[in-house]
Amino acid sequence: MNWLGSLQQLGRAIMLPTMVLPAAAILLSLGSLPWSNWGMSTVAEVSTYAGQGIFYFMPYLFAVGVAWGLSNQAGPAGLAALAGMFTYDRVVLHLGDGSVQPATLIGILLGIVAGVAHNRFKHIKLPEAIQFFGGSRFVLLFMGLFSALFAWVMLGTAPLLQDALDGLFRVVDRSQGIGLFLYGVLYRVLTAFGLHHILNNIFWFQLGNYTTPDGAVIQGDLPRFFAGDPTAGTFMAGLFPIMMFALPAIAFAIIQEAREDLKPKIRKTFVRAALVCFLTGVSEQIEFAFLFASPYLFAVHAVMSGLAMTLTAALGIHHGFSYSAGAIDFFLNLHLSRRAWLLIPIGIGYGIVYYHLFRWAIRRFQIPTPGREEGSELGDWAGNIPYQAPLILQALGGKENIVQVQACITRLRLTVRNDREIDTAQLKNLGSAGIIKLGGGNVQVVFGTYSELIREEIDKLLLRDLPQVLFSAPVQGRMLPIEDVPDHIFAAKLVGDGVAFIPEKGELVSPVFGKVMHIYPTMHAIGIATPEGIEVLIHIGIDTSQLKGMFAAAVEAGDNVEPGQLLITFDLDDLREHAASLATPMVITNPERVKSWSYAPFKNVRRGQSSVMSVVLHESNGGVES
């Protein structure tokens, strides 16, 4: 695995523990309410201590989360990291002078060591007499010993490391906004690679110190903000105008610049994306709509984001969030902010600029944003994930190509054997907003907030070993449900179940591996048997059995065929004139063999395009010999 791929895994692992922070923010907000006036002061105390407890134990959460993420969700690795944190805590507490305390950076370091140690030693074999300590149990033993030594070393080096972080904070603080500008730009750029969590951990959890009234030392912009530090929030405030106003404005610009025939779908998709970004700060669905189409426009967006950080700092605005800079966090944490009301007019101004800038750029440079070309619009996934997952897996190169599949909030994070096996165009048709290949087989596929559900379905498929048949598109044109065919015999599935196509070119190719069973005398239809025992009928047009001389076969009965191989050519113009309909059904005539069906989106397809339909079979009972 190359270094960029390693950072990808680390970035995802670091992000995992931050998922508990919204709970801390809600608890602290509840604790700030005047419960004593209502005779329920205990509620305020419980909420406040509970919220503070999450922040206090964040180093432990980071240790477990990082180890768990780096070890492909192995429980023993997380347990080993937690044991390491306990060991470290006891040593520095009793041998230190109080200046060395568990910090998120320590948790991350111990989590990395535990995760790497688990991957390295989980199968270790020891002499038989002590094999009890072999395997994954050895990781626990190793981490206990390593953490004791590490804590002893850190007694002398932790103050030096903290001085270096304090020096970095002073440099950024004295740079008159330049440091904040660079942070804002880097934040946006690293978001594209899914590595922004590594950067954020330094600025949000490491830089700056604040001593609470009870003597506790709090580190990092985010914990200091929730602890009541009036100087905290500078590394978060500038994100609110971008997340709440600028990015939703891009979504509305994309809607306005979409083609009229596609605008209803685009409006549904991007109004939802704008609302998600405004409320929660999850922005990838919008950003990936133009990231690959116009990298220069994304660079402008990164610069504008850096300027927002500088502007909010210059105006003395301090605001923070538990998860991201959306409206929920904006209002939930408003009581801890300073001059946060200024973020609203700044955000409105940013929204106006972004809206007009992006509309002009999309039109002027003909940027192919969603709705201006056929492709994915991040459609409605909610009920279709179990049916789309087999097609997504195939577009990723199939089971054999998958080494590891994980997910964060908005993207699948994969390690594959060969990233050239990935069908980028098909993933876009299946709902992907963007694909990033980091090298070394490390790939990210952005599916929005349904990514974790897609990962779960793919995991199920990886564990399932039922026979499966994948169908390519037999023609170039538009795919439609079999029920929409204007013929009651096909529409009622009396011949079989499957899909249909409206061809745009007079060529029919094989959708599967198999053997030609028969070709009808007028050559308007062909039957193919697959090695798995599936019988496929492809019927060109409706009421075409009497149209002689319009079709020409390129194969004969008994021939072996493969996906994309030419089967029949036909005169599309004559067919359009004489046939009742161009609808071309592709049906399985023995559907009792099929356990489950999966379909690609019913939209335009290319001839030979992989995975327009997938079926999982019941236990195999033999097929046709090739």
Rg value, the chain, Cα: 29
Check whether 355 has a pLDDT greater than 50. yes
Q: What stretches of 382-450 show up as alpha helix (H) in DSSP? A: 385-395, 424-429
pLDDT of the residue at 1: 46
Alpha-carbon separation of residue 151 from 110, 113, 531 (angstroms): 10, 14, 62
pLDDT of the residue at 519: 93
Which tokens is 216 given? 């506790």
Higher pLDDT, 362 or 197: 362
Contact 367, 361 (CB under 8 A): yes
CA 186, CA 538: separation in Å to the nearest integer? 53
For residue 547, give every residue at least 6 positions away whose Cβ sits within 8 Å of its Cβ, in sequence order, or none: 522, 524, 541, 574, 575, 578, 579
CATH architecture observed for domain 378-464: 2-Layer Sandwich (3.30)
pLDDT of the residue at 384: 66
Label residue 541 left, alpha or beta by phi (over 0 means left) and psi (-120 to 50 means alpha): left
For residue 226, the one-letter residue type is F
CA 598, CA 388: separation in Å to the nearest integer? 6
Check whether 626 has a pLDDT greater than 60. no
Measured in whole angstroms, the distance separating CA 182 from the mean position of its chain's CA atoms is 26
For residue 120, give every residue at least 6 positions away whose Cβ sits within 8 Å of its Cβ, in sequence order, or none: none
Beta bridge pairs of residue 605: 477
Label residue 159 left, alpha or beta by phi (over 0 means left) and psi (-120 to 50 means alpha): alpha
pLDDT of the residue at 535: 94
Give φ, ψ of 142 to 5 degrees.
Answer: -60, -45
pLDDT of the residue at 625: 43
HEC secondary structure over 307-366: HHHHHHHHCCCECCCCCCCCHHHHHHCHHHCECHHHHHHHHHHHHHHHHHHHHHHHHHCC
Q: How confident is the model at residue 204 (pLDDT cuts 50, 70, 90)?
A: confident
CA 367, CA 364: separation in Å to the nearest integer? 8
Lowest mean per-residue pLDDT among 357-366, 413-422, 518-527: 413-422
CA 258, CA 323: separation in Å to the nearest integer? 32
For residue 209, the one-letter residue type is N
Measured in whole angstroms, the distance separating CA 58 from the mean position of its chain's CA atoms is 24
pLDDT of the residue at 52: 83
Check whether 227 has a pLDDT greater than 50. yes
Domain extents in the chain: 3-210, 238-365, 378-464, 469-617
Give φ, ψ of 600 to 5 degrees.
Answer: -75, 165
Burial class of residue 593 in the structure, from the number of CB atoms within 10 Å of its CB (0-12 exposed, 13-18 middle, 19+ buried): buried
Q: Would strands 497-503 and 584-588 be described as parallel, antiparallel, or unpaired?
A: antiparallel
HEC secondary structure over 493-524: CCCCEEEEEEECCCEEECCCCEEEEEECCCCC
For residue 76, give every residue at least 6 positions away whose Cβ sits within 8 Å of its Cβ, in sequence order, or none: 118, 122, 136, 137, 139, 140
Burial class of residue 459 in the structure, from the number of CB atoms within 10 Å of its CB (0-12 exposed, 13-18 middle, 19+ buried): middle
Query: Apex CA 252: angle with CA 249 and CA 255, to 5°?
Result: 155
Mean pLDDT of the chain: 84
Check whether 586 has a pLDDT greater than 90. yes
Contact 118, 67 (CB under 8 A): yes
Give 181-232 as a DSSP string: HHHHHHHHHHHHHT-HHHHHHHHHHTS-EEE-TTS-EEESHHHHHHTT-TT-
pLDDT of the residue at 405: 84
Cite the active site residues: 408
Across 520-618, the runs of DSSP E, i.e. the strands, are 525-529, 535-539, 551-553, 560-561, 566-570, 584-588, 594-599, 604-605, 613-617
Closest CA to 257 of 373, 379, 350, 372: 372
> What would the CATH number be for the domain defined by 469-617?
2.70.70.10
Higher pLDDT, 608 or 42: 42
CA 14, CA 19: separation in Å to the nearest integer? 10
CA 337, CA 237: separation in Å to the nearest integer? 9
Query: What percentage of residues in the chain have a pLDDT greater than 70?
Result: 93
CA 337, CA 473: separation in Å to the nearest integer? 56
Closest CA to 399 of 614, 151, 108: 614
pLDDT of the residue at 44: 83
Q: What is the spatial order of strands in the sheet that 604-605 belongs to?
A: 560-561, 514-519, 525-529, 535-539, 584-588, 497-503, 477-481, 604-605
Give, rounded to a whole angstrom, the gap between the first and last alpha carbons of the chain: 39
Q: How confident is the model at residue 99 (pLDDT cuts 50, 70, 90)?
A: low
Are domains 378-464 and 469-617 of this chain identical in fold?
no
Lowest mean per-residue pLDDT among 318-327, 383-392, 408-417: 383-392
Beta bridge pairs of residue 446: 411, 434
Which tokens is 455 given? 């990962």
For residue 568, the one-letter residue type is I
Instruction: Give the torsion through C-alpha atoms of 519, 524, 530, 533, to 10 deg.
Output: -80
What DSSP character marks residue 32?
Answer: T
Closest CA to 59 of 117, 23, 105, 1: 105
